[in-house]
Amino acid sequence: MTRIRKVLTFSNVVAFVALFVALGGSVYAAGKINGKQIKPSSIPGNRLKASSVATKQLKSKAVTAGKVKPNSLTGTQVNESSLKGVSAASLASVQYAAAAVVLGDESGGLFGSGTSGVAACPPGTFVIGGGATLSDNESSYINDSGPVSGGLGWVAHAHAFKAGLTMTVTAVCTAVKAIG
């Protein structure tokens, strides 16, 4: 009994009571605090458990591109209608249009306007790229190459210095909004 009396001093009793009140208070608080009692922006993101916030709990436009880690999204997680210009689905339907053109012979010394060739995109599609190739790079050259006005195809202009040379113009087309 004297051993117990030595341990049961006033300060030890107060310390034990304080310990149990502190432990009991946090348990009580954990059971009584809900989301409505937490002030906005008072909990930092590193205090949340992974996958504890569902998509439906986020406000519209709360997550912007700057807040998304690079390479953290896959194609199935992106809403196609939110993409501008070329949609991911359109890339699966890319079509190539080509046109072969015989180049005019400008070897007589008169430097003419050259020969133009156009590769037209199929109806309902617009050009997203293109180019031109020559049958002989030593005796001919491509002056310029680019999209047709309105995005309906690809055009190239070339010059040849001997007969029988050709140019092939290629347009890369897909179903996207018209190029303005």
pLDDT digits (tens, 9 = 90+) for 53-62: 787 887 887 7
pLDDT digits (tens, 9 = 90+) for 80-115: 666 666 555 556 688 999 999 999 888 766 666 789
Average pLDDT (51-76) is: 78
Q: What is the pTM of this model?
A: 0.50
Domain-located, residue 2: no
Average pLDDT (31-53) is: 75
Domain-located, residue 104: yes
- Environment class of 127 (CB within 10 Å of its CB; exposed 0-12, middle 13-18, buried 19+): buried
Domain-located, residue 122: yes
Range of the structural domain that residue 155 is part of: 88-174
pLDDT at 49: 80
- Grouping H, G, I as helix, E, B as strand and the rest as coil, residue 139 is coil
pLDDT at 119: 97
Domain-located, residue 142: yes
